[in-house]
Chain A
């Protein structure tokens, strides 16, 4: 063998090894699939917004279905209806989004500080209660709000507020910006609470003590130590909360529509209902743009104002809580009252309403289990049987559980594989591209994402069949929308697994598949399982994402419940919302129990 041939041979060997490596192959496949599921829908959405749709003959006699046009963009931005179609809803979206985000961040921040940094009592059982509002479907809070603050303007039975106080609630408290902002904040503050708690927990008390010794005041400490450490968490919470609120459809719809209060998300829905698809797509693109701008701003803020701090060092770590002294019990009472009001009270209200024969009529003689256990009675609710006898609802319940379970499992496994590739191939630009691609769904407000999939899978493309109206489509969009989260969870898990474990297995002759199954999966298991939990709950009570894609055969509990709410069959919709809440809580418990079992078994193996 000559001296020249050796490197050449090695090069060839490397190339063939590159192809033989299943990780590389997997990476390429995932790139293509994700590009199709994430980027292509967006491209389609943009193309459609510049195209005459079939229903557009109603809009203009010049419409040629399929041909290019500026019409929709011009109508939305400069036409006579742009004010009502775009700018008004845009302002409303910004108002409610920003107000809700500020309230959520404030509440979440204060609560996190109380729970993590103070010596407030009762933390153990307050903590899960504070995440309850996020588990409960968003429009449940809207329904509960309406039950209390129903305006006499809409007629019918008075709300609780009017029943007890004797006077009608002011208009601004019933519908519009204020209730929408508050209920959105109630639903989303757990984001800020959890993220800020996490950041606060990393503050080493020694840093504060050091500052105290150096003569800094309490405010100074808050400003120079606490705040910089939690700022990234706040920024993340801001992005998460704002991004979620602007894509929310059900809540602003229920609390805004009666007074013609529209957000961009409800306008997307209205336009699709009117058959004006292209106009809806224009609005969806604008929603995505809003989400992008908010993320860009939050990143700039974090980038400028604070650097990342390493708070956990190799030295001893102490997390001493701050004594509240005389404030101990008042603070506890305040937090407990808050947790009860946002987490438990809405559920109680809905529960009570679901056993009332005539909605809003408070009296013992008006109580009935009909809406739960009754069979069809033509005199009540058009003969709709109670939820436990209703085949429609039982079918929807089965669909819901199936959808949440399948999506959560697939999202977690795919997320773990992507995370593995991203962490282990961090010098490969394709791996970085994969990372970014998997994050993109996060940028799409949920209703806009639903609109994209409506167009993408409307007709067969090559070997890919049309998926409109199928359960597969629901699984697909649920999985893709969860990927940003499951990849992040997966990365945290994979980063903690030392390479040497795999290298040892490789030396021993284990292939990649075997290594992934026997080493990565078990070790990443607990982290991935907890991610699965979050996905399970997320999919279970998702409405805005899938409402545009649901057909009668693929109904889920949330859409059936929303349908009942819209029909005015309050008791049935409340009962359904409660079922979803109970199912999600049970699901959480089961997954938590599995996770606990696994961890316990791992510990056993170790000892």
Chain B
């Protein structure tokens, strides 16, 4: 009986390893054919890529932005290839990709994704997706925007206020204002429990405690003091040794009844709606400026917030592992880095990674250069490895 059992287990194990090694071989062959990873080449034969892409006929994208839909017609006209775009938030894209890979389903070609911490620490190391940089971009991109992954644009989460009902200018000037009594229950943001980017925003504030301490002094005119709850939390925690200003901010902010909304658009509109008496503030995407409409929505970002304006994050273009249409994927990635393909994201508040495109944007919108904005970029590794610590801290302080 035992013998039989062992034998079946062995047989199953062999079958499994065969399946696995089969999959590995198939993946290797795919990488070779697609020319990614080890097989990436310097000179890309775009005539050949285009010809093969037309054979493939379509390209499937998981896109963090619904604006992908605006590329469909232009791309079809130019190359005769259909874009099948799925609007999925960054973290869910990765969840999906992971599950699909385990299930042996390969249906997606391109990832358009803003979740750098996961891309760096889970997607690329596990070979779920590959970096592909179209030739001809050298010099127009910073090296850090070509490796470890290709960056198309930089977006930010910032704080908006209603300009119609605040004719004298911004109602606040410091992040610490959000912890004041008068703003209790009047800040909108996506819940960090449901929205990865919102968590990244909070984590970036937590990574800058010294700046937060200095801003506290400027705001209240005295050095920071810590609440009892924060001290207690630190005393109980095995991982945290001493309290800092960022923790104190998070604690006070969370206890000032912030209001959670599912979508950044909803937040912008609820802040910007001109038909209200006491408009809230909202932490939302910088590029929502485009939604302003005469007599309906009027809001602007708080550029001069102390200690910083907001948190910026890159949006990457990657080729999915085992993509069924690798050439169409390359073509689309190149297209989205060009002026035509970037057009849907050519909005005030979204900055093209390519310097040449950014220059045109500055002229068009009259906004400061990306590098001149007082933004803090997310630290992908730091965010990844402190995610759970943050979650614990967040849940405990809120």
Interfacial residues of chain B within 185-238, with CB under 8 A of chain A in the complex: 185-186, 188, 191, 193-194, 196, 236-237
Contacting pair A552 B86 (CB below 8 A):
yes
Q: Complex formed: what's the CA distance from A378 to B67 in Å? A: 10
Q: Is A58 an interface residue, CB under 8 A from the partner?
A: yes
Contacting pair B194 A257 (CB below 8 A):
yes
Q: Complex formed: what's the CA distance from A259 to B396 in Å? A: 16
For B257, the chain A residues whose CB sits under 8 A away are 153, 259
Q: Is A19 an interface residue, CB under 8 A from the partner?
A: no
In whole Å, how far is A381's beta carbon from the nearest beta carbon of chain B?
9
Contacting pair A81 B391 (CB below 8 A):
yes
For B191, the chain A residues whose CB sits under 8 A away are 257, 260, 270
17 intermolecular pairs with C-beta atoms under 8 Å apart:
A58-B384, A59-B387, A80-B392, A81-B395, A155-B270, A155-B271, A155-B280, A157-B275, A257-B260, A257-B262, A272-B95, A468-B102, A468-B105, A469-B96, A469-B105, A469-B107, A551-B96
For B86, the chain A residues whose CB sits under 8 A away are 552
Q: Complex formed: what's the CA distance from A61 to B389 in Å? A: 11
Interface size on A, residues (CB 8 A): 50
What 1/0 mask marks residues of chain A from 446 to 477 whose CB sits below 8 Å from any chain B CB? 00000000100111100000111100000000
Contacting pair A80 B92 (CB below 8 A):
no
Interfacial residues of chain A within 56-74, with CB under 8 A of chain B in the complex: 57-61
* Among all A-B residue pairs, the 4 with the closest Cβ atoms: A568-B266, A466-B103, A155-B270, A156-B270
Contacting pair A458 B99 (CB below 8 A):
yes
Contacting pair A84 B188 (CB below 8 A):
no
Q: Is B301 an interface residue, CB under 8 A from the partner?
A: no
For A155, the chain B residues whose CB sits under 8 A away are 188, 270-271, 273, 276, 279-280, 282
For A274, the chain B residues whose CB sits under 8 A away are 91, 193, 196, 391
Contacting pair B276 A158 (CB below 8 A):
yes
Interface size on B, residues (CB 8 A): 61
In whole Å, how far is B362's beta carbon from the nearest beta carbon of chain A?
24
What 1/0 mask marks residues of chain B from 366 to 398 whose CB sits below 8 Å from any chain A CB? 000000000000000000110110011001101
What 1/0 mask marks residues of chain B from 331 to 349 whose CB sits below 8 Å from any chain A CB? 0000000000000000000
Q: Is B360 an interface residue, CB under 8 A from the partner?
A: no
Interfacial residues of chain B within 253-284, with CB under 8 A of chain A in the complex: 257, 259-263, 265-266, 269-271, 273, 275-280, 282
Contacting pair A152 B102 (CB below 8 A):
no
For A58, the chain B residues whose CB sits under 8 A away are 384-385, 387-388
Q: Is B355 an interface residue, CB under 8 A from the partner?
A: no
In whole Å, how far is A374's beta carbon from the nearest beta carbon of chain B?
16
Knowing A154-B259, A258-B261, the reply to whether A469 touches B103 (Cβ < 8 A) is yes
| Residue in B closest to A359 when the chains form the complex, CB atoms | B269
Q: Complex formed: what's the CA distance from A449 to B118 in Å? A: 28
Q: Is B296 an interface residue, CB under 8 A from the partner?
A: yes
In whole Å, how far is A599's beta carbon from the nearest beta carbon of chain B?
45
In whole Å, how far is B237's beta carbon from the nearest beta carbon of chain A?
7
Contacting pair B98 A54 (CB below 8 A):
yes
Q: Is B100 an interface residue, CB under 8 A from the partner?
A: yes
Q: Is B121 an interface residue, CB under 8 A from the partner?
A: yes
Interfacial residues of chain A within 551-605, with CB under 8 A of chain B in the complex: 551-553, 565-568
Contacting pair A466 B121 (CB below 8 A):
no
Q: Is B136 an interface residue, CB under 8 A from the partner?
A: no
Contacting pair A153 B263 (CB below 8 A):
no
In whole Å, how far is B395's beta carbon from the nearest beta carbon of chain A?
4
Contacting pair A468 B100 (CB below 8 A):
yes
Q: Which of B70, B103, B237 has the largest count of A CB atoms less than 10 A from its CB?
A: B103
In whole Å, how far is B373's beta carbon from the nearest beta carbon of chain A?
25
Interfacial residues of chain B within 80-101, with CB under 8 A of chain A in the complex: 86, 88, 91-92, 94-96, 98-100
Contacting pair B276 A567 (CB below 8 A):
no
Q: Complex formed: what's the CA distance from A155 to B261 in Å? A: 11
For B193, the chain A residues whose CB sits under 8 A away are 270, 274
In whole Å, how far is A561's beta carbon from the nearest beta carbon of chain B?
13
Partner of B259 from A153, A457, A567 at Cβ < 8 Å: A153
Q: Is B104 an interface residue, CB under 8 A from the partner?
A: yes
Contacting pair A157 B276 (CB below 8 A):
yes
For B95, the chain A residues whose CB sits under 8 A away are 272-273, 275
Knowing A157-B275, A383-B70, A552-B88, the reply to whether A84 touches B396 (Cβ < 8 A) is yes
Contacting pair B260 A260 (CB below 8 A):
yes
Contacting pair B91 A273 (CB below 8 A):
yes
For A54, the chain B residues whose CB sits under 8 A away are 98, 122
Chain B interfacial positions (CB closer than 8 Å to A): 19, 66-67, 69-70, 86, 88, 91-92, 94-96, 98-100, 102-105, 107, 118, 121-122, 185-186, 188, 191, 193-194, 196, 236-237, 257, 259-263, 265-266, 269-271, 273, 275-280, 282, 296, 384-385, 387-388, 391-392, 395-396, 398
For A358, the chain B residues whose CB sits under 8 A away are 296
Contacting pair B102 A459 (CB below 8 A):
yes
For B282, the chain A residues whose CB sits under 8 A away are 155
Partner of A85 from B107, B271, B280, B395 at Cβ < 8 Å: B395
Contacting pair A152 B396 (CB below 8 A):
no
Q: Is A361 an interface residue, CB under 8 A from the partner?
A: yes
For B296, the chain A residues whose CB sits under 8 A away are 358
Q: Is A128 an interface residue, CB under 8 A from the partner?
A: no
| Residue in A closest to B238 when the chains form the complex, CB atoms | A80
Knowing A155-B188, A155-B279, the reply to whether A258 touches B259 (Cβ < 8 A) is yes
Contacting pair A459 B194 (CB below 8 A):
no
Q: Is A382 an interface residue, CB under 8 A from the partner?
A: yes
Q: Is A55 an interface residue, CB under 8 A from the partner?
A: yes
Partner of B102 from A60, A258, A458 at Cβ < 8 Å: A458
Q: Complex formed: what's the CA distance from A185 to B196 in Å? A: 33
Contacting pair A156 B269 (CB below 8 A):
yes
Contacting pair B280 A154 (CB below 8 A):
yes
In whole Å, how far is B84's beta carbon from the nearest beta carbon of chain A?
9
Contacting pair A568 B103 (CB below 8 A):
no
For B277, the chain A residues whose CB sits under 8 A away are 152
Q: Given A54-B98, A568-B263, 10 other A-B contacts at CB below 8 A?
A: A61-B385, A153-B185, A157-B273, A157-B275, A259-B257, A270-B191, A272-B95, A273-B95, A358-B296, A382-B66
In whole Å, how far is B126's beta carbon from the nearest beta carbon of chain A?
8
What 1/0 mask marks residues of chain A from 473 to 511 whose CB sits below 8 Å from any chain B CB? 000000000000000000000000000000000000000
In whole Å, how far is B27's beta carbon from the nearest beta carbon of chain A?
16
For A459, the chain B residues whose CB sits under 8 A away are 102-104
For A79, the chain B residues whose CB sits under 8 A away are 392
In whole Å, how far is B79's beta carbon from the nearest beta carbon of chain A?
21
Contacting pair A568 B236 (CB below 8 A):
no
Contacting pair A567 B385 (CB below 8 A):
no
Q: Complex formed: what's the CA distance from A358 to B193 in Å? A: 29
Partner of B265 from A84, A378, A458, A567 at Cβ < 8 Å: A567
In whole Å, how far is A387's beta carbon from the nearest beta carbon of chain B?
16
In whole Å, how far is A55's beta carbon from the nearest beta carbon of chain B?
7
For A551, the chain B residues whose CB sits under 8 A away are 96
Interfacial residues of chain A within 23-57, with CB under 8 A of chain B in the complex: 54-55, 57
Knowing A460-B104, A466-B102, A468-B100, the reply to whether A566 touches B276 (Cβ < 8 A) is no
Q: Complex formed: what's the CA distance from A56 to B301 in Å? A: 36
In whole Å, how far is A295's beta carbon from the nearest beta carbon of chain B?
30
Interfacial residues of chain A within 485-544, with CB under 8 A of chain B in the complex: none
Contacting pair B188 A568 (CB below 8 A):
no
Interfacial residues of chain A within 245-277, with CB under 8 A of chain B in the complex: 257-260, 270, 272-275
